[in-house]
Amino acid sequence: MNFEWSDYLELARELAGQTASPAGTEARLRSAISRAYYAAFCKCRNHLPDVGTQLPQGAAIHQFVRDEFKDSTDKKRKKIGNDLDRLRADRNKADYDDSISGLGKMVYMDIELAEQIINALGRL
């Protein structure tokens, strides 16, 4: 079954406090995957200037941040980059695919993965 994309509008209204009816479960799960990615991505992005890395502007920053970690010789940094790559792939599925199999499992794993990335950054 294909996702009803207008459910995102209902979720937006709910988040903005404009409706009393809750959004659909799938819209919530897809949004959770997206937010988990952005939590980890933004923490990684904000870490890079602290270690002397100049960031590019625009959409290219997503690939840049992942590559900065993946291309490192440090195993911990490389793992962060690879994990961030996986989160981005799942975020793209959540944001663009009409149907996703295993969505419940995916959201659980992605939230856990985002938490691991954020914790690993704190140990660098």
Mind listing the pLDDT tens digit for each residue in 1-27? 788 877 888 888 887 777 766 778 888
Alpha helix ranges (H) inside 5-102: 7-15, 25-50, 61-70, 75-96
Q: Give the pLDDT confidence score for residue 14 in this predicted structure.
A: 83
Alpha carbon separation from 21 to 24, 60, 98 (Å, rounded): 9, 37, 23
pLDDT tens-digit readout, 68-104: 999 999 999 999 999 999 999 999 999 999 999 999 9
How does pLDDT run across 25-67, given as a tens digit for each residue? 888 899 999 999 999 999 999 999 999 999 999 989 999 999 9
Is the CB of residue 44 less than 8 Å from the CB of residue 117? yes
Per-residue exposure over 16-34, b if at least 16 CB sit within 10 Å of its own CB, e if not: eeeeeeebbebbebbbbbb
CA angle 90, 86, 28 (to 5 degrees): 30
